[in-house]
Amino acid sequence: MSVAECCGPPGPALPDAAAITDDLEELAARQPDHPLFARETGAGWTDVSAGEFAAQVRALACGLVAAGVKPGDRVAIMSATSCEWVRCDYAIWTAGGVSVPIYETASVTQARWILRDSAAVAVFAGGERCARVAAEAGARLVWRTDGPDLDRLAALGSRITPPVLAQRRAAVLADHPATIVYTSGTTGRPKGCVLTHRNLLAETAGVLAAPGIIDRVLTPGTSVLLFLPLAHILTRVVQLAAVRAGARTGHLGDLARLPAVLRSFRPTAVAAVPRVFEKLRDTAEREADGGIAGRIFRAAERTAVAWSEAEHPGRLLSLRRSLFDRLVYRRLRAALGGRVEYVVSGGAALSPHLAHFLRGAGIRILEGYGLTETTAGVTLNLPGAQRIGTVGRPLPGTAVGLAADGEILVRGPAVFAGYWNDEASTIEATAPGGWFRTGDLGSLDDGYLTVSGRKKDLLVTASGKNIAAAYFEDSLRAHWLIDQCVVTGDRLPFVGALVALDREAFAAWKLDRAKPAAATVADLRDDADLRALLQEAIDEVNSTVSAAETIKRFRVLGAEFSVGDELTPTLKVRRRRVLEKYSGEVAELYAARQ
């Protein structure tokens, strides 16, 4: 098999007896008073030291041992992002168990599948709904993380002596499973990715060994706010890397409170999917609300993009940027808490235009690429080595290859051990030479990887034209009025699009255009003004491709996509579900000309 290959620098050596809990224990022994976490209280944020947190982890781990959890047993965590989530994760590992994250939004059917497939013996559940879903899904033991259950479990473990727990932890080896992470299922039933302690350690050590990370992004003085689900591997790896680096971490489980929590916690670094940054930009434009303020915002955006794109910005451009910093950019940074120095973007493609805008506005974006099967990051744009429009170069210890058809291949110690109970899928995902087949298409230039889309998202029209759906969808989603977009056209005469509008932006548009306040999207989706505005956005994207690739028709959907239905918990579109749910709208696209 011929593979074009690019390798990152060598990664740190990992002993065979290493475990992911080592980082916490070593920090707690070395600097027990170091503030490692922050819990939100009525009075603000209260720091939790490394020593205090490690003691809480050990107490809970003793409780698991006393409750009958054996080495290698699977224990699930179904909860919103919180400090307790992380405590449960480390406690499971310390007791010699394997953690199985479940998204808090999972249905009974989804939770039942994961619990049965993993044979989990117990569940940590955050809140009444998660506890009920876990029970209905067949969990034998359910402990609530938001009540007295954790204290009771720790009390149960008081009869477990420190040497017994130390023996449990010492028996864990690097190649033992640490966690089974079920894919979010954009294409079907979730598969369990087995990640070993070596995988987690190789990934976190590799991230921190990358130039500019340990001395600029994740330092002992860094404050990181995590608000995406910890069931997602990106958030989990950032958390583990923060512990290894000694960075202080705060958590938020309710995204509706994100603006207020950003202001109160004031992080220096955040990690998110592109949709969060798109919303930040769209909200700023919407608040400008046309008129002179709207013109100022658009001029500020053009200036930021020009400054970021310029290799050596001239004096006039720099002066304009300084002016707009006082008028526009400062407020953008304030929306992130006012102290953010770096934001890590992953999980989906980030628009180059948006990345340039944010960088020009003083928000440094580090975009990376990875999958659950690769323990998150494969490549990353670094503080001193950044090329917007790419997802960066391979991290230390990682090799990236390209197959003859352009499929991205990955090799290294962070690549998973295989799919749980699914040897056939594991074999299918493995290419000769030990490469993992990502299913993504891309290209390499000077070591920088560009991802062009999923192989399965490559549409082939009835005329045989190949269409990269992701390009259109990512481009249209950047429009302030569009929340999500799904391109159609596979084995069909031409390319079409299903468009879901942003609820807040739609309300602002109605007000601006004097439309009835009570009118819904379904009421106005054929409105001439609305369709003209959306057609402008589509025309702009169409101007960048050949005539055979252009979107010929579009249909406005009557509602936003929702998590658990058309969206995964990390806001990725479930294409198959969308096309199934809106099959009638797809049929209308191809039935007659608009």
Question: Mean pLDDT lowest for which of 3-17, 44-58, 102-116, 451-465?
Answer: 451-465
Average pLDDT of 557-582?
88
Residue with tokens 């390009």: 471
- SS3 letters for 306-337? HHHHCCCCCHHHHHHHHHHHHHHHHHHHHHCC
What one-character DSSP code corresponds to residue 372?
G
Band (pLDDT 50/70/90 cuts) for residue 311 is confident
| pLDDT at position 184 | 63
Residue with tokens 């191809």: 590
| pLDDT at position 417 | 98
Angle at 558 between CA 555 and CA 560, to 5 degrees: 105
CB 18 within 8 A of CB 198: yes
**DSSP-based three-state secondary structure for 433:** coil
**DSSP-based three-state secondary structure for 501:** strand
For residue 466, pLDDT beyond 80: no
For residue 186, pLDDT beyond 80: no
| pLDDT at position 592 | 57
CB 29 within 8 A of CB 55: no
Identify the burial level of 42 via C-beta atoms within 10 angstroms of its C-beta, where 0-12 means exposed, 13-18 middle and 19 or more buried. exposed
Separation between Cα atoms, residue 563 and residue 546, nearest integer Å? 34
Average pLDDT of 199-204?
98
Separation between Cα atoms, residue 410 and residue 224, nearest integer Å? 28
Band (pLDDT 50/70/90 cuts) for residue 462 is confident
| Residue 489, CA distances (Å) to 441, 468, 550 in order | 19, 11, 11
Predicted confidence (pLDDT) per residue in 219-258, tens digit:
999 999 999 999 999 999 999 999 999 999 999 999 999 9
Identify the burial level of 491 via C-beta atoms within 10 angstroms of its C-beta, where 0-12 means exposed, 13-18 middle and 19 or more buried. exposed
Q: How much of the chain exceeds pLDDT 90, in percent?
A: 78
Average pLDDT of 5-30?
95
**In angstroms, how far is CA 243 from the centroid of its own chain?**
19
Separation between Cα atoms, residue 345 and residue 388, nearest integer Å? 12
Question: Class of the 458-590 domain?
Answer: alpha beta
Residue with tokens 């990353």: 380
Domain boundaries, the chain: 458-590
DSSP string, 458-481: EEE-TT--EEEHHHHHHHHHTSTT
Separation between Cα atoms, residue 450 and residue 354, nearest integer Å? 16
CB 443 within 8 A of CB 468: no
DSSP string, 42-57: TTEEEEEEHHHHHHHH
What one-character DSSP code corresponds to residue 360?
H
CB 557 within 8 A of CB 500: yes
Among 474, 476, 515, 480, which Cα is nearest to 294's? 480
| pLDDT at position 1 | 60
CA within 13 Å, CB half, 255: 14
Question: Mean pLDDT lowest for which of 128-137, 303-312, 584-593?
Answer: 584-593
Separation between Cα atoms, residue 222 and residue 215, nearest integer Å? 10
Predicted confidence (pLDDT) per residue in 338-371, tens digit:
999 999 998 878 889 999 999 999 999 999 999 9
**DSSP-based three-state secondary structure for 507:** helix
Residue with tokens 């390499």: 444
CB 333 within 8 A of CB 267: no
Identify the burial level of 562 via C-beta atoms within 10 angstroms of its C-beta, where 0-12 means exposed, 13-18 middle and 19 or more buried. exposed
For residue 150, pLDDT beyond 80: yes
Band (pLDDT 50/70/90 cuts) for residue 314 is very high
| pLDDT at position 134 | 95
**DSSP-based three-state secondary structure for 397:** coil
Separation between Cα atoms, residue 354 and residue 281, nearest integer Å? 8
Mean pLDDT of the chain: 93
Average pLDDT of 533-543?
93
Predicted confidence (pLDDT) per residue in 31-81, tens digit:
999 999 999 998 899 999 999 999 999 999 999 999 999 999 999 999 999
Angle at 129 between CA 123 and CA 131, to 5 degrees: 25
pTM of the model as a whole: 0.85
Separation between Cα atoms, residue 542 and residue 548, nearest integer Å? 10
For residue 545, pLDDT beyond 60: yes
Predicted confidence (pLDDT) per residue in 432-453, tens digit:
999 999 999 999 999 999 998 8
Predicted confidence (pLDDT) per residue in 392-417, tens digit:
999 999 999 999 999 999 999 999 99
For residue 464, pLDDT beyond 80: no
Predicted confidence (pLDDT) per residue in 165-185, tens digit:
999 999 999 999 999 999 865
Separation between Cα atoms, residue 399 and residue 8, nearest integer Å? 6
| pLDDT at position 594 | 42
Average pLDDT of 461-470?
75
Residue with tokens 């009771």: 152
| pLDDT at position 531 | 95
| Residue 130, CA distances (Å) to 117, 230, 244 in order | 18, 15, 30
**DSSP-based three-state secondary structure for 101:** strand
